[in-house]
Structures are given as structure tokens and as C-alpha cells.
């Protein structure tokens, strides 16, 4: 007939319904007579069996050894004989054993999961950085969990909270524009969760950072414009609350000064997106003494400038040179292809991840602060002479 024993074993199954299921199964086992009832019973049984993944205990039982031996075999512990290891590993593979990292993380207090907070995924810059992060993490066997702040302080705080609950072993952050309070990051550090900032760093928190060498990037770009004959170079920058924008402006100014050109505020504008540039550019072009070159803090802005310049019947780069920043995929798509400062976004992400892993692996707060600077380089295309 029906072996009632099978119902005692799978007790562990479905979430919290030990008892109801057990009762249900027992009742059914006593009552079932018709084929249909037996089929239902079987369904329950199969469901119970299926939902449960193979565990170390199962392997131990099957191989008639102890769970610790299985555990040690799977982690290639030197104490275990090769013979035993081979048997265990073979069995595990054959039966598609998947170690439960939840359990092992809980036990070892070390979760190979790192959290990444970024303002917005949909962005050439951030998605590229994220790609670098993910590839690097994957290489080292870490998992990446993401949280986008959407430039919102509350969401950023919530992301940090979630990461702590998930017991991530480290966090990578590029802070939102609206964040002016940094307690949530400090809390991570206080809890010995290493944090590395990238690009949009947070100067108030003492920890590793990776930034792009904005100053040098701007400097060489502007110098290139000058050496190719530009005399009057306009600057389109971001509002100066973020350090990034100031650095680029300073690189621009210093390049002018070092080359004996005047820094003229009337051709320096706060303008860092496509739409704004569409209105600002014509103003500059209609000055009595219009610029013969534009340096923009990102590629979208540079492309807006190009479109306006072209629409005025001016030639690029003969009449006007344009240089962008980021070296995004846009540079290859516009016409003519845009000269731009390569920020090496992918490398930036990979570097940040490396720093973080370093900190994780060396025990949190002991090492010196690392302040990595990613060198930029100018990619000259057809919008400069």
C-alpha cells in the first residue's frame, strides 16, 4: 500500500506549514483509497520533494559519511583523503548540488556580496562604470547588488539600509546630487563595512576614493585647442557644488593662462546639457567677438554646440573647434566625430572594485586611505584641427 513513512521526512518543506502539511498528509494517508486520492497525495509528495534542494546532509546520508566530511571535501580541505574527496565531489556534481550561500555566509559571517549605489543606471557614464564593477566582481567571485538613488537622498539612505540588512561585505557609492548629509555612509564605516566612493565622492568621509583626473583632462584638452590655433575658447561647465566641475574649470583656466590667453568670464557658462546648450551657444556666437572653440564638460553638450554651429553655416573644425568630455559612444555617432576627453569609465569601475576588494580582504580599517586617480586622455577626432 502506501508508505506513510515518506511524510515524516519532508517536514522541513514549505515555509512555516510543518504542522498543517503533516496533518494533511497523515489524514490523507489513512483515508486515501481511490486512485484519484492517491494521485493527489503523490502530487503533494512530489512537491515537497522537489522544492527542496540537495543539502550536505543529504549527500552525507547517501554516502554514509558525516556532513563535516562532505563539507570539507567540497572545500578541498587538506585533512580529507583524496579518495573521499573524489567520491563526494563526483556525487555532488552528478546530483547538481548547489551550496547554499545564505547558510554558509551566515555561518562564516562573510558574505561575498557587494552593494553598489549609483544615481542613475541609464547614463553612458554610470552604466559603463557599473559594467566595470560587475566584471571585476565576477572575476573574484563576488556578487553585485544594485540600488539606484535616482538622485534622491531618501532613496540613497534606504539603499544603504538594505545593504546593511543584506550583510554586504562592502559598498561602492557615487553620491546623489541631493545628498548633503553623510551619516548613512558613516554608519557603514562604523559597522566596519568598507566603502569606496567613485567619481561623485564624499569628502566628509574618510575612505578610499576613485576619481577621474578632471583637471588634467581639461588642461590637455584646452591646450590641444590652443596648439591647433584656437584663440578664444568658450567653456561650458556644471554648477560648482560638485568638486568635479571645479576641477575641470580650473584645468581650463590654467591652460589658458599658461599659454598667455586671457580668462574671459563672458565666454564661460554654466551649461551642462543638450537643451541648455541649444540656447546658450547662439548667444556666444553672436557676440561681437565670438569664440573660435568650445570646451564642454560632457559630450551631449558638445554635440548641441556642434548642431548649433553647423546650423549657422560655420564649418567644424575650420571655423569653430569643439571638444567634449567623457568619450562616450556619442562621439563616434555625431558628424563629424567628436574630439573628447576619455574618462575611462570602465576602468574607473574596475578600479573602485579592486580597491574595495583590497580593503575587504585586508580587514577593514587598518590600511592607509587610497585615493586613486584615473588618468584621462584626449581622443582627437574631427571636431578639432
Partner DNA sequence: TTGAAAGCGCTAACAC
Partner DNA sequence: GTGTTAGCGCTTTCAA
Answer yes or no: are the C-beta atoms of 65 and 54 closer than 8 Å. no
Of 108 and 275, nearer to DNA (C-beta) is 108
Q: Does 20 bind DNA (CB under 7 A)?
A: yes
Instruction: Provide the CB-side half-sphere exposure for 40 (13 A, CA).
Output: 11
Q: Does 274 bind its own copies (CB under 8 A)?
A: yes
Largest Cα–Cα separation, the chain = 101
The entry of its own copies, DNA, none near residue 187 (CB within 5 to 8 angstroms by kind) is: its own copies
CB of 361 to its own copies, least distance (A): 10
180: Cβ–Cβ under 8 A, 6 or more apart, which residues?
A: 153
Identify which range of 29-37, 64-72, 189-197, 264-272 contacts its own copies by CB under 8 A.
189-197
The entry of its own copies, DNA, none near residue 265 (CB within 5 to 8 angstroms by kind) is: none
The entry of DNA, its own copies, none near residue 76 (CB within 5 to 8 angstroms by kind) is: none
Of 11 and 375, nearer to DNA (C-beta) is 11
Nearest to 55 by CA among 72, 69, 44, 67: 67
Pick from 1, 35, 50, 368: which binds its own copies (CB under 8 A)?
A: 50
Q: Find the radius of gyration of the CA atoms of the chain.
A: 30
* CA 85 from centre of chain: 38
Identify which range of 68-76, 255-263, 304-312, 352-360 contacts its own copies by CB under 8 A.
304-312
Three-state DSSP at 377 gives strand
The owner of cell 591652460 is 255
Three-state DSSP at 372 gives strand
Number of residues that bind DNA (CB under 7 A): 36
Pick from 19, 93, 107, 265: which binds its own copies (CB under 8 A)?
A: 107
Answer yes or no: are the C-beta atoms of 98 and 81 closer than 8 Å. no
Distance (Å, whole) CA 87 – CA 80? 11
Distance (Å, whole) CA 202 – CA 189? 13
Q: Does 15 bind DNA (CB under 7 A)?
A: yes
The owner of cell 559519511 is 65
Three-state DSSP at 120 gives coil
Three-state DSSP at 228 gives coil
Pick from 55, 245, 307, 358: which binds its own copies (CB under 8 A)?
A: 307
Of 198 and 219, nearer to its own copies (C-beta) is 198
Q: Does 113 bind its own copies (CB under 8 A)?
A: yes
Of 52 and 177, nearer to DNA (C-beta) is 52
Nearest to 276 by CA among 300, 292, 253, 294: 300
Q: Does 246 bind DNA (CB under 7 A)?
A: no
Of 227 and 361, nearer to DNA (C-beta) is 361
Q: Does 15 bind its own copies (CB under 8 A)?
A: yes
Pick from 26, 30, 33, 81: which binds DNA (CB under 7 A)?
A: 81
Q: Are strands 233-237 and 208-212 parallel, antiparallel or unpaired?
A: unpaired
Q: Does 25 bind its own copies (CB under 8 A)?
A: no
Q: Does 21 bind DNA (CB under 7 A)?
A: no
Rounded to the nearest 10 degrees, the angle between the axes of helix 214-227 and helix 243-258 is 30
Identify which range of 102-110, 218-226, 231-239, 289-297 contacts its own copies by CB under 8 A.
102-110
Distance (Å, whole) CA 142 – CA 113? 5
Residues that bind its own copies (CB under 8 A): 11-12, 14-16, 50-51, 53, 96, 98-103, 105-111, 113, 120-124, 127-128, 130-131, 134-135, 138, 143-148, 150, 155, 158, 161-162, 164-167, 187, 190-192, 274, 300, 303-304, 307, 310-311, 330, 332-335, 363, 366
Amino acid at each position: 500500500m502506501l508508505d506513510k513513512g515518506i511524510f515524516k521526512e519532508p517536514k522541513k518543506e514549505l515555509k512555516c506549514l510543518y504542522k498543517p502539511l503533516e496533518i494533511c498528509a497523515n489524514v490523507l494517508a489513512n483515508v486515501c483509497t481511490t486512485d484519484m486520492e492517491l494521485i493527489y497525495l503523490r502530487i503533494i509528495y512530489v512537491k515537497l520533494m522537489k522544492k527542496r534542494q540537495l543539502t550536505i546532509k543529504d549527500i552525507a546520508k547517501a554516502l554514509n559519511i558525516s556532513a563535516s566530511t562532505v563539507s570539507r571535501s567540497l572545500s578541498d580541505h587538506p585533512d580529507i583523503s583524496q579518495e573521499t574527496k573524489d567520491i563526494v565531489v563526483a556525487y555532488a556534481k552528478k546530483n547538481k548540488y548547489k551550496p547554499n550561500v545564505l547558510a554558509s555566509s551566515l555561518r562564516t559571517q562573510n558574505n561575498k556580496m557587494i552593494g553598489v549605489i549609483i544615481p542613475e543606471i541609464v547614463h553612458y557614464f554610470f552604466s559603463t562604470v557599473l559594467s566595470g564593477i560587475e566584471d571585476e566582481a565576477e572575476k573574484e567571485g563576488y556578487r553585485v547588488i544594485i540600488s539606484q538613488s535616482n538622485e534622491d537622498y531618501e532613496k540613497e539612505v534606504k539603499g544603504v539600509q538594505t545593504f546593511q540588512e543584506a550583510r554586504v561585505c562592502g559598498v561602492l557609492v557615487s553620491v546623489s546630487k541631493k545628498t548633503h548629509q553623510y551619516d548613512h555612509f558613516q554608519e557603514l564605516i562604523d559597522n566596519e563595512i568598507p566603502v569606496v566612493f567613485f567619481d561623485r565622492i564624499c569628502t566628509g568621509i574618510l575612505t578610499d576614493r576613485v576619481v577621474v583626473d578632471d583637471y588634467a583632462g581639461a588642461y590637455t584638452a584646452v591646450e590641444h585647442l590652443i596648439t591647433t590655433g584656437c584663440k578664444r575658447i568658450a567653456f561650458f561647465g556644471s554648477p560648482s557644488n560638485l568638486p568635479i566641475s571645479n576641477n575641470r574649470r580650473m584645468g581650463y583656466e590654467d591652460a589658458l593662462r599658461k599659454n598667455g590667453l586671457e580668462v574671459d568670464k563672458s565666454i564661460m557658462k554654466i551649461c551642462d546639457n543638450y537643451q541648455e546648450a541649444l540656447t546658450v551657444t547662439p548667444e556666444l556666437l553672436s557676440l561681437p567677438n565670438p569664440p573660435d572653440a568650445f570646451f564642454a564638460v560632457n559630450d551631449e553638450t558638445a554635440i548641441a554646440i556642434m548642431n548649433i554651429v553647423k546650423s549657422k553655416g560655420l564649418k567644424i573644425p575650420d571655423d569653430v573647434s569643439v571638444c567634449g568630455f567623457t568619450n562616450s559612444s556619442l562621439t563616434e555617432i555625431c558628424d563629424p566625430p567628436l574630439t573628447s576627453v576619455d574618462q575611462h569609465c570602465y576602468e574607473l569601475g574596475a578600479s573602485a572594485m579592486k580597491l574595495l576588494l583590497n580593503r575587504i580582504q585586508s580587514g577593514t580599517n587598518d590600511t592607509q586611505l587610497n585615493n586613486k586617480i584615473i588618468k584621462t586622455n584626449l581622443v582627437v577626432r574631427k571636431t578639432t584641427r
